Structure 1
Amino acid sequence: MGVLKVGLAGIGAQMQQNLLPALLQTPGIEIVGACDSEAARAGAIHRSVPGIRTTDSVAAMVDTMSLDAIVMACPPHLHWELAISAMQRGISVFVERPPCSTLDELRLLVDMARQCGVRTGVGMNLRFSRPIRQLRELTASETFGNTSSIQLTHYAHQPRTALPGHDTALRSVLLGHALQSIDLAVTFGRGELIDVQSHVRRYGEALTVEAECRFASGATATLLLGTTLPHFEFHIKLIGSNSATAELDDRGDITLRGAEPGSYAEIDAQTPFDFGPDRGGYDSELHRFFEACRTRTRFEADFYSLLPTYRIVEAICDADRATEREHDSAAATREGWHISPPAGTGLGRFPH
């Protein structure tokens, strides 16, 4: 396959500041069209890619331009429908996170991609950032051993209300800001997801989530997520079967400790653009996505790869709904009423 013809959908801040600069450095592609619901914003693409066609409709772009792939950074609640439409036309899709709102919607995306024979990708740039790549290499070594424990903290101030397309603020937190951190738990868990146990606490509009995820590899991931801090805070600690540990903070600094007393090393040669909630990894992920399109192989962060991540999201949401029903039932009983919970309500377990 020669040069890939690429269309862009959604010319907002994410596209202009992060995706477009990476696309302009990606070999073997040609950006041939762009669309945005606001014509002026669509036209802004001409500052970087002069002369390409622009439109205010994704449907018009995919119907009138001969595209091999489309890169979407639209309002998230639109991604699912737009991705389905593009795949039905045989166009490979790269969608900024989140690609959809529920596990059922993700399964439909996976099925559609399989039926249409197209490549898919989701913008999980943190997975491809230099510090995470280094951490994956370090923890894959024989010295570190198998990862037995993953301890991950992720705090941010937003969102505090349900975003468009989401039924609760909790789902918006999990999909809107913490999705990449949940994905890292799956990435380092290196095995089939077996069970999720979780508890949600609310403090006015803010909330915290404590979750424990068990994997068939024997690894356990403990997640502490929330919106109670006024700033972004991220930390991950991995413990290996050989008693070594590796830690990564929100500056991108890695600290290693070996099994021997006094064994200690720091890797902190990151730059401010290597890491962070919205930085790093864009060049690598897009290069690999288009290489998968060209060779017709799987891209690491495709729709299918996110199934366990979305299973964790659904398990947390299901457990929270069950807890709320139990509280409502207890309150009604105290008032002389009784409400029976629906059959099958559980604490986040799901069949393999």
Structure 2
Amino acid sequence: MAEVKKARIAFVGCGGHATHSLFPAVHQIPEMELVAVCDLREELAQRNARWFGAQHWYTDVATMLAKEELDGVVIVGPPQMHYEVGKQCLDAGLPIFVEKPSALSYALARDLAEHADRKGLWGAVAYMKRFAVGYELAKQIARREEEFGQVTVVEIRFSNGPYPAIWGISRAAEAFLIGQAVHLFNLARYFGGEVEEVYARLHEVEENRFGYAINLRFASGALGILNLNALESPTWKIHERMALTGVDCWLEVEDMLRLRYRPRGEPIAEPHIGGRNQWIEWQPDWTEILRVHAAGCFGYMGELQNFARSCLGQETPRSTLWDGAKDLQVAEAVWRSAQTGEVVSLSDRT
């Protein structure tokens, strides 16, 4: 059997999300070799090198870039770090994988994407939902134009517990758009295409308890309806549902794990009794649920494997730095619309 070519990858950032959701997937990816880890806190860098088998650990990015022969760098931290360390790695001639959001604003995210272009490089943004099995199945179905028809409506409902003001953003409701809702804007764009117009209303119950009702118009003419809120649970519990309307058919995905699809035809011929309620359903069995924390259903393994393969020239990134910028552009348009009560055209915000 031919030996699998491996991308030599370093991680910058050994905090909670990286340690619990990303690092555990590394050893399940044949195309990835963990060469080095870096964190400002020496004890975290040492710990993750020991736990996950990195050859070397560092507390300074410049030193790591000077000493190691790398094919790419994974950067996981606050958005200011994604932007600054991302540029530093691009200047060293390396492609990057950054967590979402790729920067603190659309302007900075766009600058990071342009910087990569000027260097003749690229970057990926960690939108793991594009790799979640429920959404991958939904994408397969939606691509079958003769069967599903065009996507006419994208509907997303997302809730978590109370959301704080973070990263120097003064309002929790605005921080939610930058730090959390970009996931859902990226998902909406993945299925609906580019967004042209946004109309949003915001209802704030308390400082960190609020809900958004958001209407989108896509360039294709399709519509988006988003209910994004921090109201449905007193603690950090996330519920997520996406539904796609086609032509004479629909599908829905719940919590990235369960898919239900009603096709145009009847999978099983039935007597004509005045209704049609047949659908196809998929959900993981318990053996797959056991392994979904850092791989499988939720997409963490998939996004890192796509990065490694892209570093080797075997694939292209499924979510790029430009995607990260466009999602922040939508987030800022939602905030502006919610504050002014106006429909916001994204063509006015280039």
Contact 1:127 1:180 (C-alpha < 8 Å) held by counterparts: no
Q: Within the alignment, does 1:87 sit opposite 2:90 as a pair?
A: yes
Q: TM-score, normalised by structure 1?
A: 0.85
Structure 2 residue identity aligned to 1:265: I
The answer as to whether partners of 1:126 and 1:281 remain within 8 angstroms in 2 is: yes
Partner in structure 1 of residue 155 of structure 2: 151
Residues 36/237 of structure 1: CA separation in 2 closer, same or farther (3 Å cut): same
Deviates more, 1:43-52 or 1:137-146: 43-52
* Cα offsets for 1:205-235 (capped at 9, x unmatched): 2111111111121211111101112131111
Q: 2:243 aligns with which of 237, 261, 268?
A: 237
Give how far 1:43 is off.
0.5
- Tell me by how many angstroms 1:276 deviates: 8.4
The answer to whether 1:272 aligns with 2:289 is yes
- For residue 246 of structure 1, what is the aligned residue in structure 2? 251
Q: Distance in 2 between matches of 1:218 and 1:109?
A: 30
Consecutive unaligned residues in structure 2, runs of 5 or more: 266-275
Of stretches 117-126 and 262-271 in structure 1, the one that deviates more from structure 2 is 262-271
RMSD: 2.4
AA paired with 1:157? G
| Residues 258 and 264 in structure 1, CA contact (< 8 A), matched pair in contact too | yes
- The answer to whether the 8 A contact 1:121-1:299 is kept is yes
1:26, distance to aligned residue in structure 2 (A): 2.1
Paired amino acid for 2:344: G
Distance across 1 between alignment mates of 2:87 and 2:188:
28
CA 1:27/1:169 → structure 2, altered by over 3 Å: closer, same or farther?
same
Change (3 A) 1:53 1:216: same
Deviations 1:319-341 (A, max 9, x none): 23335xxxxxxxxxxxxxxxxxx
Alignment partner of 2:66 out of 43, 63, 68: 63
Equivalent-residue separation in structure 2 for 1:52 and 1:262 (angstroms): 56
Q: CA 1:35/1:210 → structure 2, altered by over 3 Å: closer, same or farther?
A: same
Structure 1: gaps spanning 5 or more residues? 324-345
**1:276-303 CA-partner distances (Å, limit 9, x unpaired):** 8997212211111121221186411111
AA in 2 matched with 1:176: G
- How far residue 2 of structure 1 moved from its aligned partner, in angstroms, is 5.9
**Structure 1 residue 77, shift from structure 2 partner:** 3.1
Give the match for residue 340 of structure 2: 322
2:261/2:280 contact within 8 Å kept: yes
Which residue in 2 is equivalent to 1:257?
A: 262
Alignment partner of 1:52 is 2:55? yes
Give the structure 1 partner of residue 191 of structure 2.
188
- Secondary structure of 1:234's counterpart equals strand
**Given residue 159 of structure 1, which amino acid in structure 2 is its aligned partner?**
Y
**Which of 5, 13, 18 does residue 15 from structure 1 map onto?**
18
* Greater relative CO (CA pairs within 8 A, separation 6+): 2
Q: Distance in 2 between matches of 1:295 and 1:263?
A: 43
- Identity of aligned pairs, percent? 22
Residue aligning to 1:329 = none
TM-score by length of 2: 0.86
SS of the aligned residue for 1:151 comes to strand
1:219-256 deviations in Å (ceiling 9; x for gaps): 11111101112131111111102x20101112611112
Compute the displacement of 1:99 (Å). 1.3
**Structure 2 counterparts to residues 1-352 of structure 1, below 5 A:** 3-50=6-53, 52-141=55-144, 142-160=146-164, 162-190=165-193, 192-205=194-207, 206-230=209-233, 231-241=237-247, 243-250=248-255, 252-259=257-264, 261-269=276-284, 271-272=288-289, 280-295=298-313, 298-322=316-340, 346-351=342-347
Q: C-alpha distance in 2, partners of 1:92/1:134?
A: 29
CA contact (8 A) 1:198 1:348 kept: no
